[in-house]
Amino acid sequence: MLTLKNVNSFYGLSQILHDVSLTVGDGETVGLLGRNGAGKSTTLNTIMGLLQQRTGSINFNGIEMAGLKPSAILHTGVGLVPEDRGIFHNLTVLENLKIGYLAGKNIWSFDEYQKYVFGLFPRLKERLKNPGKKLSGGEQQMLSMARALGSKPKLLMIDEPMEGLSPEYVERIRQTLLAMKEHNVAILIVENNIKLALDICQRIYFIEKGVIRYEGSSREVRDNPGIRLRYLGVS
Amino acid sequence: MEAIIEFFGRLAEIPANTWITQVYLGLVNGSVLILLALGLTIIFGLMGIVNFAHGTFYMTGAYLGWLTLRLTGNFWIALIVAPILTGLLGAGIELTMLRRVYNKRESVYLGILITFGLSFLGPDVMRFFFGKTGLPYVTPALLDGTAFSIAATNFSRYRLFLIGSAFSLILLMWLLLKKTNLGLIIRAGISNSRMVEVLGIEIRNVWTATFGLGTALAALAGVLVGPIFAVQPTMGDMIIIQSFIVVIIGGLGSLIGAVISALIVGQVLTLFPLLPHLQQLADVVIYLLMAFVLLVRPRGLFGEEGVGE
Amino acid sequence: MSGSTALKQTPNPSSVKSLFAFAVGLIILFAWPLFAQYTPIFTSLATEIIIFSLFGIAYNMALGYTGLISLGHAAFFGFGGYFTGAMLKFFGLPVILSLMLALVASSILGVVFGFICLRKTGVYFTLVTLAISQMLYYVAQMWIGVTGGHEGMAGIPRLGLGQWVELTNNPKGQYWFVASVAGISVYMLWRMVNSSFGKVMQAVRENEERANTCGYNTKRVKYVAFIISGAFSGLAGSLYLISQEFFGIENIYWTMSGAVLIITLFGGTEVFLGPFVGALLFLLMKDSFSHYFEYWQILTGTLFVAVVLFLPEGILGSIVTFFSNRVLRRLPKKEA
Ligand SMILES: Nc1ncnc2c1ncn2[C@@H]1O[C@H](COP(=O)(O)OP(=O)(O)O)[C@@H](O)[C@H]1O
Ligand SMILES: [Mg+2]
């Protein structure tokens, strides 16, 4: 479904990603793990077309995405929940959702979308009229995910969704991710909580200094604490 | 102490109708500033461009209005045609020039330079085509004369019309921003334009439209002041600085801030000259006001964190 | 303001070649009045070009070297002019002393001005410099007793250079006087940008955060650069007053800040002498365009926008880049 081949990308003059190759299959959940500054977010942002300077091939369902703008990439069926969540602070929850829905307005009705989203995140329904800046971190995360679903992506990329959240929210988001797996949405997730990652993902990539160092199934990683020690510094 | 008593004594001697007149004229000033500041602040909030050419578009609107009026003899046509043409000109400039610089690291800086260059050549373009002296507008017959009087203050129809137009436009802008998808995208873009793109919306077209809209508002202000002040090549130079001050006081990128601050600045400009002994400072006072606001509230009255810093 | 840091300094003067170029430049500069009448740049225009070069180079200390986009430098230029005028006219001080005092006074203005404006960053900084300098414009407008308001400041005594009166009482003499003062100032500025402080300024411009983490007090650096920039801009204003024997209020209006911005950008912010080329071009265009075509701002403005869009390094900057690339290409690569 998604195939990266020898992708290099740059911030200004400094190269961040070096020959990154990875794949995500149909409906598969894949984890991208690595230490801080390893280039995980940069990988997701590169796929989304947010870095102009990149080389190599990014193919999604047969469409070559190198050179496409982020808005065009979204319309091929890729969604991104960024690390900073990208909430529109001065817009209400409902307005945030509306923006997310605009790209999917030919696919489903706003009512259907709301129903779907509030099924996943009932909490959002209570806060519909609140401005984005008044939401807690967990609520912002849920809103950001809900918003990304507006275009019914076939692949959802999520950057550290659990970061700094309380256990209830972590559980809520985990449930959502599992539910989306059920709906056959493919997921590429950056998640440094190894237990959670192994629980959700089928396959894991480890990235270090912009280079993919390891690829394997969750089972392999689970059975091999050495790998985790090597790339994350935890066992 | 005596000086203070004397100050208030002299203040009390100012007749009521003088106050009324000045408040009313301040409202006229404020209305014009609202139209300019709204465009400036939206353009800045959305694109990060400080539009130095805004005064030039204001002047362009006034001249195109004068030309239309001259050709058709109809003020109402001028009121519609000039802003549309100026808005198209603005959109064209956005498309051909400003668009080239957004992605660069120094986009704010390049935006200032380009629009500054335009503001540098604008007045001479008008001098070239229309001559150096001011051109008078004819007040449309319908709006000629006095509407009513309060305590010897005559409220001219035209000035009331100008105030009414400005406030109708605020309402229209409010509706546009709150009730339409375009408005939704503009507001979202002011908050985080990258995220708007990530959500699949081609924001560049929105930028062009917004720049056109902002310049059209400036042009409308230019046509509206035509019958009050003569239209001349330097008319944009002064008002652009006042508009910047309005936007700084209101907070860069804030719409409500622009409106409120325009009304305050409009009043200060006309009321301050009434104060005994302090008349001399009238020109300087809005700068002092700005400095004061920035000291107390570094981002202006309604500015958001991170915008323009 | 992109490109490599290597270009930002004038070549090392100790090398024989640059010393030669330097000497030739100096000779041309001082000999100009002798053959000015055979060129389009008459002595009075040349004087003006030199003054605005100094203004631009001083302005570029803030813009190009430190990354501060000020639109308030008209305040310094105007203040320097009025201050010098007052010293000459009302206190009868000698010219040299007036100029020195003007430099000091402009520095003090820079201390105050910078203190207010540098509390802001980014666009706010630019707009606040603009607003504060406009405020001084209105002060100048009100203070008719000193500035003459819209009439301008007139009646400035001829160069009071004591026994040198004879020498300086003509355009050539004025030119030499202005060129000497401006030359010394430019030399001082040049020493400054090549000092260790100059390196720090550029580090701040390139990446303020990194300079901060490297242990520099970047706020202080910007403040000092702004004060120096303002002080010499003030001196340029003083020289302008002296050479014109008159000082109009438009010299403190915001369009003067715009003019120096255009001059600096024309030449290029990354080359020390860029503003000299900018001043040459700007004033030559103003002079010759307005000869044939009254509305010279149309051409100058268009050219300016074109330079911003297509030659972001400015004219001299692009030339330097072009040649240094050619030179570099001829050299073998050092690293594999
Ligand atoms: N906007 C940026 N400009 C320059 N360098 C950046 C930028 N964002 C990230 N980097 C650099 O890219 C590298 C990878 O960052 P990132 O992808 O955010 O890491 P991760 O998400 O794995 O923690 C880091 O060294 C970081 O310093
Ligand atoms: Mg990250």
Distance from CA of B177 to the nearest CA of A (A): 11
pLDDT at C5: 42
- Tell me, yes or no, whether B13 lies in a domain: no
Q: Which CATH architecture has domain C19-25+40-321?
A: Orthogonal Bundle (1.10)
Work out the minimum CA distance from A67 to partner chain B, whole angstroms. 15
Provide the CA B201 distance to its chain's centre, in angstroms: 29
Of B187, B196, B197, the CB nearest to A90: B187
Q: Provide the residue-wise pLDDT of chain B in tens; the chain has 309 residues.
A: 787 888 888 878 888 888 888 899 999 999 999 999 999 999 988 888 889 999 999 999 999 999 999 999 899 999 999 999 999 999 999 999 988 887 666 667 788 889 989 998 999 999 999 988 888 888 887 888 787 877 777 888 899 999 999 999 999 999 999 999 999 999 998 888 889 999 999 988 999 999 999 999 999 999 999 999 889 998 998 899 899 999 989 988 888 999 999 999 999 999 988 887 777 777 788 888 888 888 788 788 887 765 555
pLDDT at C1: 38
**Which of the four pLDDT bands, split at 50, 70 and 90, describes residue C169?**
low
pLDDT score at A231: 73
pLDDT for A170-225, tens place per residue?
998 999 899 888 888 999 999 988 888 898 999 999 999 999 999 989 888 888 87
Q: What is each CA distance from A36 to A40, A42, A210, A231, in whole angstroms?
A: 8, 11, 11, 11
Top mutation candidate among A14, A15, A16, A206 for ligand 1, by most atoms within 8 Å of CB:
A16
Closest-CA distance, B139 to chain C, in angstroms, reads 31
Task: Let me know if residue B186 belongs to a domain.
Answer: yes
Q: Decide whether any atom of ligand 1 lies within 6 Å of the A32 Cβ.
A: no
Does the beta-carbon distance from B198 to A70 stay under 8 Å? Answer: yes
In this prediction, residue C4 carries a pLDDT of 40
DSSP C20: H
For A65, list phi and psi in degrees, rounded to 5: -100, -10
Amino acid C312: pLDDT? 77
Closest among A52, A49, A80 to A65, alpha carbons compared: A49
Question: What is the SS3 assignment for chain B?
Answer: CHHHHHHHHHHHHCCHHHHHHHHHHHHHHHHHHHHHHHHHHHHHHHHCCCCCCHHHHHHHHHHHHHHHHHHHCCHHHHHHHHHHHHHHHHHHHHHHCHHHCCCCCCHHHHHHHHHHHHHHHHHHHHHHHHCCCCECCCCCHHHCCEEEEECCEEEEHHHHHHHHHHHHHHHHHHHHHHHCHHHHHHHHHHHHHHHHHHCCCCHHHHHHHHHHHHHHHHHHHHHHHCCCCCECCCHHHHHHHHHHHHHHHHCCCCHHHHHHHHHHHHHHHHHHHHCCCCHHHHHHHHHHHHHHHHHHCCCCCCCCCCCCC
Residue C121, C-beta contacts closer than 8 angstroms, at least 6 positions apart: B309
- B157, part of any domain: yes
Higher pLDDT: C179 or C311? It is C179
In a domain, B202, yes or no: yes
Find tokens 């490599």 and name the residue: C4
- pLDDT value, residue B214: 95
- ipTM of the complex as predicted: 0.91
**Which chains border C (3 or more CB–CB pairs < 8 Å)?**
B
Contacts of C295 by beta carbon, 8 Å cutoff, 6+ apart: B124, B125, B127, B128
Q: What is the pLDDT of residues B219-234, one digit of tens each?
A: 999 999 999 988 999 8
A48 contacts on B by Cβ (under 8 Å)? 198
The total of structural domains in chain A comes to 1
Does residue B3 sit within a domain? Answer: no
Q: Which residues of B touch A77 (CB under 8 A)?
A: none
B238: domain CATH number?
A: 1.10.3470
Among C29, C106, C27, CA closest to C74: C106
| Count of domains observed in chain B | 1
* Ligand 1 contacts CB of residue A41 (under 6 A): yes
Q: Give the nearest ligand 1 atom to A39 CA.
A: 17
Residue A29 CA to ligand 1 centre (angstroms): 24
Out of B108, B237, B287, the one facing C123 most closely (by C-beta) is: B108
For residue A207, which ligand has an atom nearest its CA?
1
CATH number where A48 lies: 3.40.50.300
Q: Which ligand is nearest to the CA of A17?
A: 1
Dist. CA A228 → ligand 1 center (Å): 22
Quote the domain boundaries for residue A191: 2-232
List the single residue in A89, A90, A103 with the smallest CB-CB distance to B199: A103
Q: What is the pTM of this model?
A: 0.85
Output the residue whose Cα is nearest ligand 1's atom 7: A11
On whether residue B201 sits in a domain, the answer given is yes
pLDDT tens sequence across A52-74: 778 899 999 999 988 899 999 99
User: Does C290 contact chain B (CB < 8 Å)?
Assistant: no
Query: Can you tell me the distance from the alpha carbon of A61 to that of A58, in angstroms, rounded to the nearest whole number?
Result: 10
Contact C131 B241 (CB under 8 A): yes
Would the CB of A38 count as within 6 Å of ligand 1? Answer: yes
Domain ranges of chain C: 19-25+40-321
Supply B180's token pair.
């339409």
Residue C132 near residue C124, CB atoms below 8 Å? no
Which structural domain range is residue B55 located in? 32-129+139-296
Average pLDDT, chain A: 91
**A156 torsion bin: left (phi>0), alpha (psi -120 to 50), beta (else):** beta
Specify if B173 maps to a domain: yes
